[in-house]
């Protein structure tokens, strides 16, 4: 297994606009978009715009930029879904559960007593698009 960055990974293609995504938020250093196999309503992903595989090769600057965006989007998503809490997931290398090798943070709005769904089931695109709009509507002006 290579531990170098592969610029053909799916999130690199999203960053280059080669494949579509439902964008939630963007700044100079980060992008947030919806996960297409959502495990919660509002499941979205925050990534740095610059290349790195995961937490193991990320720079302090990349991590700080991602965390700033996680903070912004997590609060918006909590409001958008009237959530009771937020769960962050972040996986590193295959053994750590990582499938896409561009650093990303999963944001999951959570409700008391509602379990997170299993991974790997494609979501309904209209629903995902509508959920993106709900989060966008709650972002700070």
Which residue lies nearest ligand 5GP, judged by its C-beta?
A: 37
- 104 flagged as catalytic: yes
Q: How many CB atoms lie within 10 A of CB 113?
A: 6
For position 63 contacting ligand 5GP by CB under 6 A, the verdict is no
CA distance 111 to 81: 9
From 29-37, 68-76, 80-88, 109-117, span contacting ligand 5GP (CB under 6 A): 29-37
CA distance 58 to 120: 26
Site pattern 91..120 for ligand 5GP (x: CB under 6 A): x-----xxxx---x----------------
Catalytic residue among 43, 102, 104, 106: 104
- With beta carbons less than 8 A apart as the criterion, state whether 78 and 1 touch: no
For position 55 contacting ligand 5GP by CB under 6 A, the verdict is no
What secondary structure letter does DSSP report for 84? S
Residue 15 or 65 having the CB closest to ligand 5GP: 15
Q: Shortest approach of ligand 5GP to residue 141 CB, angstroms? A: 26
CA distance 20 to 128: 13
């Amino acid at each position: 297994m290579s531990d170098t960055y592969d610029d053909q990974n799916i999130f690199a293609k999203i960053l280059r606009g080669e494949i579509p995504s439902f964008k939630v938020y963007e700044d100079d250093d980060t992008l947030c978009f919806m996960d297409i196999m959502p495990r919660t309503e509002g499941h979205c992903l925050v990534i740095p715009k610059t290349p790195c595989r995961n937490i193991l090769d990320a720079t302090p600057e990349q991590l700080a930029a991602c965390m700033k965006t996680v903070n912004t989007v997590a609060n918006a998503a909590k409001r958008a879904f009237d959530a009771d809490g937020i769960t962050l997931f972040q996986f590193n290398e295959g053994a750590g559960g990582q499938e896409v090798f561009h650093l990303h943070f999963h944001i999951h709005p959570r409700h008391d007593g509602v379990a997170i769904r299993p991974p790997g089931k494609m979501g309904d695109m209209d629903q995902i698009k509508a959920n993106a709009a709900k989060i966008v509507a709650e972002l700070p002006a």
